[in-house]
Amino acid sequence: MPDSSPSPHYPAAFIGRGLFPIYIQLATIFRRLIENGEWAVGRQVPTHEQLGLQFGVNTTTVRKAVELLVREGLLKAYRKRGTFVITKPARQEWYDIPTTLHAALDIPEDIEIETRRASMPRQLPFASTSSLSAGSGYRLLRRIHRRRGQPLCLENCFLWLDLVQGAKPATLKRASLALVHESNEMAHANATLTFGIADKETARQLKISLNAPIAIFHQRATASGGRILMDSTSYFRGDCVRVFERIKP
């Protein structure tokens, strides 16, 4: 068994490597220490000299990293008294990605869905069982989900035409799966969540930065004969989505 170490320490090896300036790298570590409470709110952080020694960087670099977090409002430097933690990084309220049928049908009250455009798709993201030309038989709904006015996700939903026809405008504000579920034709529904980063257009519409993490939620509902009734892909801003499950009752 190796020597036990009392707390995870940070070898200097990983600082100063890669594309980013050293003080930016150091700031990400300080931010994490504040986030997980190792640097508690209201407490003083180690001196620049101590931090310089710990991470193997000079005090100028430490000062630049600290200044970055002071500008972010997480730290505050007092003359002679030292640097203190003011607050933790603000975090978004969680939005729970549905993992059950019940949750997928029911949109939380503070979420508003706007269907921006319904159009005939030029192509489908799956092989159509219809003998007709590619996009016919389906409608593409481009939707945006907002929480208290803030964009939460962009959804592209391909919906079997029968389900859209005759739908009231109010229906189009509901969860995509709910539109299918009502028809009583649905035999199976699956959901998959993967992760990625925002491209320019997604970033612009979700009001996040380029390369910010996103979660990609794909839902598909099929009828008993295998026909795809709905195929929906939602691009969520990554900083507020969560999958929370009880794994042992």
Number of residues in contact with other proteins under rule CB under 8 A: 78
Nearer to other proteins, 133 or 224 (CB): 224
Q: Does 42 bind other proteins (CB under 8 A)?
A: no
Parallel/antiparallel/unpaired status of strands 150-160 and 138-147: antiparallel
Cβ of residue 26: shortest distance to other proteins, in angstroms? 7
Shortest Å, Cβ 244 to other proteins: 5
Range in contact with other proteins (rule: CB under 8 A) among 31-39, 44-52, 125-133, 166-174: 31-39
The answer to the question of residue 149 lying near other proteins (CB under 8 A) is no
- Between the alpha carbon of residue 30 and those of residues 45, 240, 249, the distances in Å are 10, 22, 37
In contact, 48 and 66? CB cutoff 8 Å: yes
Q: Is 249 in the site for other proteins (CB under 8 A)?
A: yes
Beta strands in 79-149 (DSSP E): 82-85, 95-96, 111-119, 138-147
Nearer to other proteins, 118 or 174 (CB): 174
Q: Is 211 in the site for other proteins (CB under 8 A)?
A: yes
Q: Does 4 bind other proteins (CB under 8 A)?
A: yes
Distances from the Cα of 86 to the Cαs of 46, 82, 90, 128, 182, in angstroms? Answer: 15, 13, 12, 57, 51
Assess 81 for contact with other proteins (CB under 8 A).
no
CA distance 218 to 54: 45
Q: Which two tokens stand for residue 25?
A: 């790298």
User: Where are the extended beta strands (E) located within 97-209?
Assistant: 111-119, 138-147, 150-160, 186-197
- Residue with smaller CB distance to other proteins, 21 or 82: 21
Q: Is 178 in the site for other proteins (CB under 8 A)?
A: no
77 contacts other proteins (rule: CB under 8 A): no
Told to check if 221 binds other proteins by CB under 8 A, we report yes
